[in-house]
A = this chain, B = another copy of it.
Amino acid sequence: MYKFSDMVTKMRSSEIRKLMKMAANPDVISFSGGMPNPDLFPVELMEKIYSEIPLQVKQAGFQYCPTAGYPPLIQSLKNYLSEKGLPLEGNDLIITTGAQQSINLVTRVFVDPGDRVISEFPCFIGAAATFNSYQADMTTIPIDNEGPDPVAFEQALSMQPIAKLVYLTPFFHNPAGIIYSRERKQTVIEILCQHKMVLLEDDPYGELYFDETDKELTVPIKALAGEQFPICYAGSFSKIIGPGLRLGWLLAPSEIIEKCELAKQSMDACSSTYSQVLAHHFMQSGAMPGYLEFLRAEYKERCQIMLDAMTKYMPDTCTWTIPRGGFYIWVTLQDHMDATEILTKSLQAGAVFVIGKAFDPENRRNNCLRLAFSHTPKEKIATGIRIVADAIKNLS
């Protein structure tokens, strides 16, 4: 009676999504989804800010807005990004329905089926799903505590046919939890300069550094590299206000934004104007710096609780990253171990995480696991880590 399109026939479901369904049981301690704890959302603050805006602006929130975004929010974001050192000249900004849409748009604009895309291994699952949905041919570069392996990176960029897109998440990587070192970031820029490839720089977590001294490490590649090669810089309100607003942004050379806008127009016409009005007035109110400070302290504390529990319970046979910001700890098991088996045991005992394979665009390597400390109630973190640790020990 009907036949699905080639594109859709080849899509695969996200591992995270299946797991999220299992993890819905409230008795299970969850380290899985990469979301904030609900208690951290600025609910009352936002309600107060909304109540004070004029009727005409509230009405605008119910209306369509331009595909590129609600103009006052575009302006607020330009100011904010300019202060972060990002170049506005020659670039344009588009508001998207979450950074997920920014990734989708850039991929749509550059990638035809069979085109090569280079990403880190491990790789953000939502990006990997997008590249897969456009039938990209993936090449991955391993990352260590300082960033991508320079030799593998150089090799990947030299491969024929030449890649259409390089996707990197330099700041508090999801799932690896690391931030690029100053030196490695410079090396990455130099390699990209030689090859002049399009870079999609994904930065949803950059604001969530735990220590003020690390702030300088969060300067985007786009702020440092200038116009030596085309950079599409993606950001999001998901981790700094709330994912429920579904708002991200993309700063990129004007010609690229023009194509993204065209693609977005037939995807969803525009992103929620209501959310955009909220985000704009939140920024305008001056509440954001204080709210970010609160978040940084909260996540730092949650991370420390998890690290302490890991030191206490985890077997010597596994290693993990020590985050300086963001949401995640990435655990590496012995080579022969399979994270799915550990997850099965762990779920039975009442704790859930995401298996490493989910973050492998090639869907193979599975001796790692991701622990999110962002949303678990603090008093449950140690108990949950003990369950995961026991599952690992039982299978070692």
Contacts and interface: CB of A to CB of B under 8 A. Distances in A.
User: By CB atoms of chain B within 10 A, which of A38, A39, A63, A96 has the most?
Assistant: A63
A308 interface: no
A35 B5 CA distance: 33
B104 A268 contact: yes
B268 A98 contact: yes
Contact of A5 (B61, B96, B108): B108
B7 A112 contact: yes
A198 to B, nearest CB: 5
Contacts of A5: 108-112, 115, 164
Interface stretch (A10-18, A319-327, A351-359): A10-18
A115 B8 CA distance: 14
12 contacts: A1-B198, A2-B164, A5-B110, A11-B262, A20-B66, A64-B244, A98-B268, A98-B269, A243-B269, A243-B273, A246-B270, A246-B273
A59 B42 CA distance: 9
Nearest to A115: B5
A38 B54 CA distance: 13
Nearest to A16: B265
Interface of A: 1-8, 11, 13-14, 17, 20, 33, 35-36, 38-39, 41-43, 47, 50-51, 55-56, 58-67, 96-98, 100-101, 104, 108-112, 115, 126, 129-130, 132-133, 164, 196-198, 229-230, 238, 241-246, 259, 262-263, 265-275, 277-278
A97 B97 contact: yes
Nearest to A101: B268
Contact of A272 (B67, B198, B245): B245
Given A7-B108, A96-B268, 20 more contacts: A1-B230, A2-B164, A5-B111, A8-B263, A14-B265, A38-B63, A43-B59, A47-B58, A61-B244, A62-B245, A64-B238, A97-B272, A100-B268, A101-B267, A101-B268, A129-B265, A133-B266, A245-B272, A246-B271, A268-B268
Contact of A229 (B1, B33, B244): B1
A334 to B, nearest CB: 32
